[in-house]
Chains A and B, each alone.
Chain A
């Protein structure tokens, strides 16, 4: 589209912009998608869909993107952030940003801040969405971010961002690390005194907080990606929260530990700012509480508390003490048990108990925690700070309008899940959106054309156009003429252009053609990231390749620096730095690689089936290789009809789908190629080999239930696995018919959650409970005893645990150091354990013992080698990043899902399959792939083939080519991390966009 809009003033700004929302792209034909909720789920779904070419409107109640993650600095397993890892890895220059916590800037994603949906009308494909938006009160183009408004604002109130532990004004920066750093006005707190309006040097404030109606027409599909609200312990008088200042929520502690938090990351307690030496975490506050009607587990709090305890312990040092009081520590992810072990090794105390009360200790601010320990005795302990691990707030529902056709949700109800699970769910939801668009018969977006860089542009002498935009560097503050003269002297550019606002792009196009510019530097005041999408538009309109353009964020005027260096001089230096770097930038060899729009799926279990069907439904031809005789994998081992039926339907759909070629008794013999272009040798049942040409691979080789010799497993026909138990009770003709067992014992975590298989298999607790309940249903007089370590009934499956207890099933916890003993005495099975509640040994003589043995990956080393896949210690396939890129592998174009990656339930495997298909389609939707600017290249004349760069490349993108005598890079596999350039001693490897010469020139300009 061309930009014909005039500069807007004041109040009508929001409405006018909305008309343009999501239509930045030239693909006006493409149906628009509305994603509601800009937490990581919404961001991920929006990016996935935008990367498919759809314009997306991302709306959130908050003024910034990021959801709860804006407040959390550290995520396990590495205790860093890492949000950036979910940015698109293809066409990275198109999503030109590096830190996702600062905001989301994507060419096809428009963010609608402070927006609440009022109603949805229309029909699927043509939904009309009425939205109320709250104005920020600040006009972005005029604001310089100087902060004069905040200084004069008379309001002083607790800052919810820091959980009320710090104060803020009514005009404030919502998130300290956001970009651009615009303030916003809290209309509820604003007194309307107008002091800020007077103080503002650029007339950027509009003191009208009236909600603005915005109507979005022609929304094809809406995806609701809002998470669940968090439990607020002040709603009930629980553990003195609200009265005792040193009782805080886990989220508040996260802020205390944050460098941008109330105490700058120092571990101080709220009441007296004294360093904290002793912290207690109380788990399951508001969750797993039947009296409060909260018969659910909130999924994340156990790991959250463990992470906080570890971080706090590190901060406190050796004399610090951290204790976590819990009922069950739900470390149900693949790597969580080892993380728990790490936390325990670091000295954090994990105490299984119930908290009786929290009282002030004597007359101090300290807190006495009274709890009933595992031996059943009441015990008191004094802490500096008590952290309440709060999870989801009650059972929640989506609004009424969400039941309309054409509106999809992430889960049935708003949920709160771990980052990795969230991304899988939102990826799967994005796939659902795609499928719905297809069902609605809406045009598929044109595949995204990539333009080849014309060699002449690269060879021409650089002619630079400098565009300075926004009042922040305009006439209001600076002497334009002096700046122009300085820039002219320093850089001798082809042209210098001043704009009032970025909306005047038309002038840029004219200036570019007038000056014959082939390099463009867009300079703005504190809106650098936000300017990048404009560059994409300018690329189309000026013909200057994106790689020869850059956006420079001048940042806020800093009063302290201004005294030392005059602003004009500082700006000149900054512009010179960027310009020098831009002028040194080398062009890419204009190499496009066509994408082979076909997929290979390895493994025909639930995950592989789901992935295949999702791809085929979106017109991707799929070859599904299954090593056994029939599709289904573990589906045939599932006894629960409710779980099994949809999977059988899935298998049938796959079998019948015309775009899916099923190759049973198949095997993968070898594969080579690059993302978009793989050639794989597959063998069919007759052993005959053929070559398959495809663009992506999804590995779903699955896993199986483990057998065991522990607990006398296998030594007696009635000491067997829980899977056998499930089979027996599900089979009406089973050995049980007629003679119900008197007593059954189940033992959880057999050979699991301790070395060498130190992980939770996620499915066994639920399976044992369901089987136990089935026995109870068949014969209520049967006694069932379950020996367990931690019942892992996460999420809604907590209800099954509750029901089991209601049905009189006995639960006896055990420590791995003192496991129950199982043996046979004259053909009788004897189980001996210890009941910590009774404080005495237990001896049982059950008819059956069922062992929950967990899951092991199938593993296929040949296959893993073929696709350069790496394994965890336990043989699961490792993903690129367990949190932020759960289904990608280190090899671009190869994806992993299901049990091959981590223990999952069948429904979760299906979800992963669909989400993996979505990841794959993102790549397949392109006609051709152009390597990003930020990829490594090798200069043959300098390369001495020492191969230092090969082991440091995490993406298998480099190899030593003996025939040419130097290292060769696969630009499509290269992710631009720069590790190779760092180890290369003589700059033979250079990273596009970060050429040494450019960086040195920039440094030079700054000295």
Chain B
């Protein structure tokens, strides 16, 4: 049962979050927090592992940008239970990816406390940097100007899962006045923490439900339009080939993918390290072949491996130097696959991964 807590004084959401994290660290409720912050050297917020409350000065967790999906970074600090308590600030898609990695035994959720927010999307890095040039406080500017949502990535604008699943505490940013942030407490651990911090109960934000529903409708409409466009293109092999024709086999998409968890990708192993004879034979059969080879194979393999686990974070598209709509292809396929198996990555930790639950009786 969700309860709502108010912050003691009227502040911006970032300030509210900062003072909460400060209290958590100084009261030793957690040993460290992992939260996006600007480094002294650059404007892009990166995940920072902070143990000293003083280090929280530059945090900017609500900034409408995420240079990468930090589930992988989160997994490195939660590789196994270290005995230290961690407060983690993650976007909903990062939580889903991190929980998917837990199911894949790449990390554990013990001793962690999850803080998240109603996510209104992230911008591409260069869009955000332009905003940061023009505005002193780009984060506040973003939440004040609802039209800036249109500047977020295609994936974010298609995203229906903008409310976190499995977070202990959620910062309500939809339907709340930006000076009166409200914290939604979803779990027992979250309740204990709120009590320890002395947060007081408050009424649910009155307009949140309608704001959530409005945003969902907006996203669904956009999603439907993009899906129908991309499905039209990938309905046959030729269309698919056209889409990926500019692929350089740089494998950025794979590196950026938070659920692509292999230690070493099969495309870097001996399986695809073809000897010259093989390439020459291929060439002699067809008259000519494009190099690097195996481009279609790479995308198909990744689709086969990851479609069920795609959290829709869109990082693959963001990092593509050839501007291939990788994320849209993935999400269109993922939507079908996830519907087929009634599976949603990161929804529940005890939900079996489809290909492991497969059986004679359960095809």
Write 8 A-B pairs (CB below 8 A) sorted by A numbering: A942-B266, A946-B104, A946-B261, A987-B271, A988-B262, A1004-B278, A1007-B282, A1007-B285
Evaluate contact between A948 and B271: CB separation under 8 angstroms. Answer: no
Q: Does A167 contact B (CB under 8 A)?
A: no
Q: Does B235 contact A (CB under 8 A)?
A: no
Interface-facing stretch out of A140-148, A850-858, A994-1002: A994-1002
Interface residues of A (CB under 8 A from B): 78, 941-948, 951-952, 960, 983, 985-988, 996-997, 1000-1001, 1004-1005, 1007
Interface-facing stretch out of B139-147, B156-164, B165-173, B352-360: B352-360
Docked complex: B256-275 residues within 8 A CB-CB of A = 261-266, 269-271
Q: How far apart are the CA atoms of A945 and B75 in the complex, in Å?
A: 14
Q: Which residues of A contact B269 (CB under 8 A)?
A: 942, 986-987
CB distance from B295 to the nearest CB of A (A): 15
Q: Which residues of A contact B355 (CB under 8 A)?
A: 948, 983
Q: Which residues of A contact B105 (CB under 8 A)?
A: 945-947, 960
Evaluate contact between A946 and B106: CB separation under 8 angstroms. Answer: yes
**When A942-B264, A986-B263 are in contact, do A948 and B285 touch as well, CB less than 8 Å?**
no
Q: Does B305 contact A (CB under 8 A)?
A: yes
Q: Does B281 contact A (CB under 8 A)?
A: yes
Docked complex: B81-134 residues within 8 A CB-CB of A = 104-106
Counting chain B CB atoms within 10 Å of each CB, which of A944, A960, A983, A1007 scores highest?
A: A944
Q: How far apart are the CA atoms of A985 and B353 in the complex, in Å?
A: 13
Contact with B262, one of A952, A960, A983, A985 (Cβ below 8 angstroms): A985
CB distance from A487 to the nearest CB of B (A): 14
Evaluate contact between B262 and A948: CB separation under 8 angstroms. Answer: no
Evaluate contact between B106 and A1001: CB separation under 8 angstroms. Answer: no
Q: How far apart are the CA atoms of A1005 and B263 in the complex, in Å?
A: 30
Evaluate contact between A944 and B353: CB separation under 8 angstroms. Answer: no
Q: How far apart are the CA atoms of A996 and B272 in the complex, in Å?
A: 10
CB distance from B229 to the nearest CB of A (A): 29
Q: How far apart are the CA atoms of A42 and B104 in the complex, in Å?
A: 47
**When A944-B261, A946-B104, A947-B105 are in contact, do A987 and B266 touch as well, CB less than 8 Å?**
yes
How many A-B pairs with Cβ below 8 Å? 57
Q: How far apart are the CA atoms of A952 and B265 in the complex, in Å?
A: 22
Output the nearest chain A residue to B358 by Cβ-Cβ distance.
A952
Q: Which residues of B contact A944 (CB under 8 A)?
A: 104, 106, 261-263
CB distance from A985 to the nearest CB of B (A): 5
Q: Which residues of B contact A941 (CB under 8 A)?
A: 263-264
Evaluate contact between A942 and B353: CB separation under 8 angstroms. Answer: no
Evaluate contact between A1004 and B271: CB separation under 8 angstroms. Answer: no
Evaluate contact between A983 and B104: CB separation under 8 angstroms. Answer: no
**When A1004-B278, A1007-B282, A1007-B285 are in contact, do A948 and B353 touch as well, CB less than 8 Å?**
yes
Contact with A986, one of B264, B353, B356 (Cβ below 8 angstroms): B264
Q: How far apart are the CA atoms of A941 and B278 in the complex, in Å?
A: 26
Evaluate contact between B104 and A1001: CB separation under 8 angstroms. Answer: no
Given contacts A946-B106, A946-B261, could you give 9 more A-B pairs where the C-beta distance is less than 8 Å?
A942-B266, A942-B269, A944-B261, A947-B105, A983-B355, A983-B356, A986-B266, A988-B262, A1000-B271
9 closest residue pairs by CB, A with B: A986-B262, A944-B263, A946-B104, A986-B266, A985-B305, A947-B105, A996-B271, A987-B266, A942-B264
Evaluate contact between B271 and A942: CB separation under 8 angstroms. Answer: no
**When A983-B355, A1007-B285 are in contact, do A1001 and B278 touch as well, CB less than 8 Å?**
yes
Evaluate contact between B266 and A985: CB separation under 8 angstroms. Answer: yes
Q: How far apart are the CA atoms of A946 and B102 in the complex, in Å?
A: 9
Q: Which residues of B contact A983 (CB under 8 A)?
A: 355-356
Q: Which residues of A contact B261 (CB under 8 A)?
A: 944, 946, 985
Q: How far apart are the CA atoms of A441 and B13 in the complex, in Å?
A: 92
Q: Which residues of B contact A987 (CB under 8 A)?
A: 266, 269, 271
CB distance from B182 to the nearest CB of A (A): 38
CB distance from B115 to the nearest CB of A (A): 27
Evaluate contact between B356 and A1004: CB separation under 8 angstroms. Answer: no
**When A951-B356, A986-B262, A987-B271 are in contact, do A1004 and B281 touch as well, CB less than 8 Å?**
yes
Q: Which residues of A contact B278 (CB under 8 A)?
A: 1001, 1004
Docked complex: B284-311 residues within 8 A CB-CB of A = 285, 305
CB distance from B269 to the nearest CB of A (A): 6
Output the nearest chain B residue to A999 by Cβ-Cβ distance.
B271
Q: Which residues of A contact B106 (CB under 8 A)?
A: 944, 946
**When A944-B261, A946-B261, A1001-B278 are in contact, do A952 and B356 touch as well, CB less than 8 Å?**
yes
Q: Which residues of A contact B356 (CB under 8 A)?
A: 948, 951-952, 983
Counting chain A CB atoms within 10 Å of each CB, which of B104, B264, B271, B285 scores highest?
A: B271
Output the nearest chain B residue to A995 by Cβ-Cβ distance.
B271
Evaluate contact between B104 and A948: CB separation under 8 angstroms. Answer: yes
Q: Which residues of A contact B360 (CB under 8 A)?
A: 78
Q: How far apart are the CA atoms of A987 and B265 in the complex, in Å?
A: 9
Q: Which residues of A contact B282 (CB under 8 A)?
A: 1004, 1007
Output the nearest chain A residue to B301 by Cβ-Cβ distance.
A985
CB distance from A878 to the nearest CB of B (A): 13
Q: How far apart are the CA atoms of A939 and B263 in the complex, in Å?
A: 11
Q: How far apart are the CA atoms of A1004 and B282 in the complex, in Å?
A: 8
